[in-house]
Structures are given as structure tokens and as C-alpha cells.
Amino acid sequence: MQQATAGQPLTPRVQKDVDRRQAEMMPVIKEILDWNKLEPMDVRV
């Protein structure tokens, strides 16, 4: 996130939005990157 904002601090409003979006996306990312789902593909490769 620091790279995306070029190191500039976020306003509290923007930080709250970033935190909310991150909380929404984490379950999706965890599901996509679940090793039990990725392992069979990794083994084939």
C-alpha cells in the first residue's frame, strides 16, 4: 500500500476505506490461495 500511495500518508477517511476493502478481500484471497486447492495443480506442473 505504501508503494501505491508513493509513501504519502492516507487521510483517515481513505484509510478506513482501504481497511474495509482489505477486510472484504481477505476471505476471497484466502480461498483462491488455499493450498489444498493449489497443491494438485502444483503436483501436475
Q: Which is higher by pLDDT, 37 or 45?
A: 37
User: What is the C-alpha separation between 25 and 1, in angstroms, rounded?
Assistant: 14
Which cell numbers in the block locate residue 10?
492516507
| pTM as predicted | 0.59
User: What is the C-alpha separation between 12 and 18, in angstroms, rounded?
Assistant: 10
* pLDDT tens-place string over residues 7-33: 788 899 999 998 999 999 999 999 998
Task: Domain ranges for the chain, please list them.
Answer: 12-44
